[in-house]
Structure 1
C-alpha cells in the first residue's frame, strides 16, 4: 500500500486537536473512561510483594487535561475501550513511565479513545513494574505482555475481535515492553495458568512509540535500565534485555515513531532496532520527526508535523490488514 503523504496531511486537519475548540473537547476527562476492566491473572495467582500499595497520582492541575500515573501496580489488568461498531481489529497499548509507574491518560486512554472512535477495540495494559520487588522482577513486564496477548485472543468472541488481527504497541518504557514481546513472545517466563495460555503470545504486528529499547549504557534510558536489569548487569543480561540484539526472522512487522530532538530516550534506540529488523528481513516502517521531544502523545504533538502520527499508525495497520 502506498501512502499519499499529501492526503495524510489533509486528513490530519480532521484530527481532534486541529482547532482550539476541538482540543478542549479532546482533553475533557469524561471522554477517557474505559468500558470495562479485566484482571490479567486469575484471583490468587500472583502475590504482591509485602508493603506494595497501588495508587493513582494526578500530575496535572488542569481539570480539562488529566495526566494520571499508576504506581505500585498490584493488580495487572487490561482496561477495555469498545467501539460502537467493532471492525474486528484489536490494539493492546503499554503506556510508558520509566518502569517506575505506568501513565494512564497521555499514553493510554487518549490513543485508546482515538482508535475506538475508528472502530478498533483497544486494551490498555497496566503491567507490573520490575523494581517493585516481584520475584523474577525483570521478566514481570514481559510475563504480563504475553498474558495480555493470550487473554485478548481468548476473549475474541466476547469482544468481537479477530484473534488474527491483534497489534501490540508501547510508549517509552512501554515500548521496551512491546519490543521485548516482539523478540521474546515465546520465552518461557511463566507457567501456564488456564486455557488462554495455550494461545500464541506473538502479536500480528508490533509498534514502538519513542521507545526505550536497548540496555546498552551508551544509549539506554538510565532509569529504565536500572529498574529492569540493575546497576551492574553482566554482558549476558544486558544482551538478553536489549531487543535490538535479539531480532529474529519470525518476529512480526514493526512500526516505529521517534522525534530526533528527544532528550529523554535517545533516538538511537529506534534506529538500531530499525536497522536490525531490516537486516533480518522483517518489515519495518519508521517515522522520524525533527521535533516533538519525548512523551508527546497526541496532545503535545498539536501544531507540529508529528501531529499526523496517529493517522500514520492507523494507515500502517490498514496496510498490514489489521484494520
Structure 2
C-alpha cells in the first residue's frame, strides 16, 4: 500500500475546501417513523454524497421523476428494529463516531438484493460493534439500480466510489488516516464491496470537485456472504435481474462479476460464507477467492457449515459463525487497518 499511501496523503493534504462541509443541510437517516431501539447508539450525522451545488439534479443519471424514499419497519419487536429502505434518491452516509478513534475507517454496504437497503441488521449493528473498538464507520445508503437511473448497473458503484473519496477528503474531521479506509459489505452489498475492490479505478461518473481526485480503492475488503457472479449458474437471480435488467448480454454479466475483473493491484480480501446458504450459493465466495488467488492477491476465506444467509450479528449468536466479527478484526490487524 506504500504508493497508495503517498498518493492518498498528497491528494488529501492538497484539499483546501471540502464541498460537503459548507454547512448545507444534510438528509436525515432513513426512518420508518417509529422509535429507534432504546439505549443503542444512533448515527452522529449524515453526509450527502452528491451536493446540489455540483449536481443540480442530484446524483448522476437522475430519472425525470425521482423515486420516493420509503422506509419499512419489518420487526414486531419494539426493542429490535429491522428496517429496509427503498427508493433512495439522495444517497448518503450515516456516520458512527467512536469515543476513542483508532485512526481507521470502515465503509459498510448493507444488503437487500438490490431491491432495498437494510438499515439495522447489516448496517447499524456492525457499525456499533466496530465503533466500540475504535473504527469510524460510515453506513452507505446507495441508490438502487431499478429506479430509472442512467447506466443502472454502475449506479451503486458510483455511490461507493464517491463515498470512499468523500470519507478520505474529510479525514481530519473524523480523526482517521486517509489511506486506512476499509470496506465491508453483505449479500448484494457484498457484491458492491467486491465490485468496488475490483473496479475502484473505473471512471463511472465525471469528477466534479477536489474529493473526486482521491483514490476510491479500499485499504482492504470484506465481502460477507456476497453475491459475486452474474453468471446464471451461480448468480442470485433477484440481484442479477435488478442490477442488469432482463436478458443481459454475456459481456454485461462479465463486466459486473467481480471475480472476472480482479486487477493486479486489488486490496487484500477477507471472505465469509456459510455452506448451507440457500439464497446466495457458496460458489460465489469460492469464485472470488479463486480469482484473487490467481492474481496473487492476499485473501483469507472462512467457510462455516451452518449459518444460512443474512446472519449478520443477530442471527449468528450462539453458533460457531458467531465468532466472525472478532476473526475479521484479528485479520484486519494483520493488514494494518486496525
TM-score by structure 2 length? Answer: 0.86
2:300 aligned residue = 285
Q: Conserved in 2, the CA contact under 8 Å of 1:82 and 1:121?
A: yes
1:8 aligned residue = none
Are residue 227 (structure 1) and residue 242 (structure 2) matched?
yes
Are residue 302 (structure 1) and residue 317 (structure 2) matched?
yes
Aligned-residue Cα RMSD (Å) equals 1.2
CA offsets per residue over residues 56-78 of structure 1, 9 Å max, x none? 10000101110001110011000
Q: Conserved in 1, the CA contact under 8 Å of 2:111 and 2:118?
A: yes
- What SS does the aligned partner of 1:233 have? coil
2:272 aligned residue = 257
2:49 aligned residue = 40
Aligned residues: 297
- 1:145-184 equivalences in 2 (<5 Å): 145-184=160-199
- Work out the CA distance in 2 between the residues paired with 1:218 and 1:30: 45
Q: Conserved in 1, the CA contact under 8 Å of 2:66 and 2:89?
A: no
Please list every run of 5 or more consecutive structure 2 residues that lacks an aligned counterpart in the other structure: 1-35
- Work out the CA distance in 2 between the residues paired with 1:41 and 1:76: 8
- Work out the CA distance in 1 between the residues paired with 2:203 and 2:81: 37
Are residue 96 (structure 1) and residue 111 (structure 2) matched?
yes
Q: Conserved in 2, the CA contact under 8 Å of 1:32 and 1:110?
A: no
The offset of 1:28, in angstroms, is: 4.2
Q: Conserved in 2, the CA contact under 8 Å of 1:172 and 1:211?
A: yes
- Work out the CA distance in 2 between the residues paired with 1:58 and 1:32: 18
Are residue 204 (structure 1) and residue 208 (structure 2) matched?
no
- Work out the CA distance in 2 between the residues paired with 1:178 and 1:170: 5
The offset of 1:51, in angstroms, is: 5.0
2:7 aligned residue = none
TM-score by structure 1 length? Answer: 0.90
The offset of 1:30, in angstroms, is: 3.8
Q: Conserved in 2, the CA contact under 8 Å of 1:95 and 1:108?
A: yes
The offset of 1:140, in angstroms, is: 0.7
- 1:87 counterpart (96, 102, 107): 102
- Work out the CA distance in 2 between the residues paired with 1:242 and 1:214: 5
CA offsets per residue over residues 92-121 of structure 1, 9 Å max, x none? 000000001000000000000000000110
CA offsets per residue over residues 108-138 of structure 1, 9 Å max, x none? 0000000000011000000001011111111
CA offsets per residue over residues 281-323 of structure 1, 9 Å max, x none? 0000111101110000001001100000000111111111111
Please list every run of 5 or more consecutive structure 1 residues that lacks an aligned counterpart in the other structure: 1-26
